[in-house]
Amino acid sequence: MSIWGKIFGGVAGFAMDGPLGAILGAAAGHLVDQGLRRGDPATGQSGEAAHRLGREDLQVAFAVAVITLAAKLAKADGHVTKAEIAALKRVVRIPDDATRHIARIFNDAKKSPEGFEPYARQIATLLRNNRPMLENLLGTLLMIAHADKTYHPAEQAFIAEVGHIFGFSPVEIRRIENMFVAGAPSTGPDPYEVLGVDASASDNDVKSAYRKLLRENHPDTVVAQGLPEEFVEVANRKMAKINAAYDRIKAERGLS
């Protein structure tokens, strides 16, 4: 069953309190309760509960976090464009029969007076040991932000703060931005930044960094860790940037 069936059909055994659970409950009209205890109000999830969430629960949490944060992002520059909404539907692969339900989550989050920070903190807690997944979530937001071909300063500030909440340094946030900005490989971002190594790194260190990124970010790997299959375009975009960066470095260094 698709992630949308899991969310609105209640078959994932999904149970989450806090801001994400409140948004989902308001939009879907119900939550499936497994009796997980209410945790820290700042995150909406106790440490113990976060560890007990299964893969399907994490998939649901990831999807709801993307939609909620996308709604907050869309307001960052003062208005919601059709391109941003279309990008959400394209990136998230929302089928026609789920559009109405997803729109309820989006609109509830957009209208909520609550800031984006509680939502970001909660998903950061749920995924705190899975940096590739947090990168994919931030990457999804970046793809939506760039959909209208303009990266507004307010959107950039939003991404920076969400990235900070996720535990990324400014340098890491810039690297993630580089992975999800469209552009030809030959004119794209610094390939060393994409791989997370210095330009003075040895050939062996470059190869090691590349192989590590391949292991951590292969679509099959991140789907197994909780990335919904409907978001695989995000993982594919990231892998394409990693491979393009390595290809540029290989060509410059004459590596085999």
Res 53: pLDDT? 64
d(CA 142, CA 160): 11
pLDDT value at residue 33: 36
Between CA 17 and CA 44 the distance in angstroms is 5
Residues 6+ apart with CB under 8 A from 172: 163, 196
Note the pLDDT of residue 98.
79
What integer pLDDT is reported at residue 208 of this predicted model? 96
Gyration radius from the chain CA atoms:
18
Return d(Cα 125, Cα 50) in angstroms, integer: 7
pLDDT confidence of residue 121 = 93
With DSSP H G I counted as helix, E B as strand and the rest as coil, what are the percentages for the chain, rounded to 5? 70, 0, 30
- Written as one string, the DSSP assignment of 205-236 is HHHHHHHHHHHHH-HHHHHHTT--GGGHHHHH
In the prediction, which pLDDT does 173 show? 93
- Helix runs in 14-152, H state only: 18-28, 47-52, 55-76, 82-92, 99-111, 117-126, 131-145
Separation between Cα atoms, residue 15 and residue 64, nearest integer Å: 13
**Can you give the pLDDT at residue 55?**
78
Residues whose CB is less than 8 angstroms from the CB of residue 158 and which lie 6 or more positions away in sequence, other chains included: 72, 73, 76, 116, 141, 145
pLDDT of the chain along its 256 residues, tens only?
677 777 766 544 455 677 887 777 665 553 333 333 333 434 444 444 444 567 777 888 888 899 899 989 888 866 666 666 677 777 777 777 777 778 788 888 888 888 999 999 999 988 887 888 899 999 999 988 887 777 888 889 999 999 999 999 999 999 898 888 655 444 567 899 999 999 999 999 999 999 999 998 888 888 888 888 888 888 888 899 999 999 999 999 998 7
Nearest to 88 by CA among 117, 59, 65, 111: 65
Pair of tokens at residue 192? 């060393």
pLDDT of residue 32: 36
- At residue 47, the pLDDT reads 42
How many other CB atoms are found less than 10 A from the CB of residue 192?
18
Output the pLDDT for position 46.
40
User: Which residues 6+ apart lie within 8 Å of 45 measured at CB?
Assistant: 16, 17, 18, 36, 39, 122, 125, 126
What does the pLDDT read at residue 29?
54
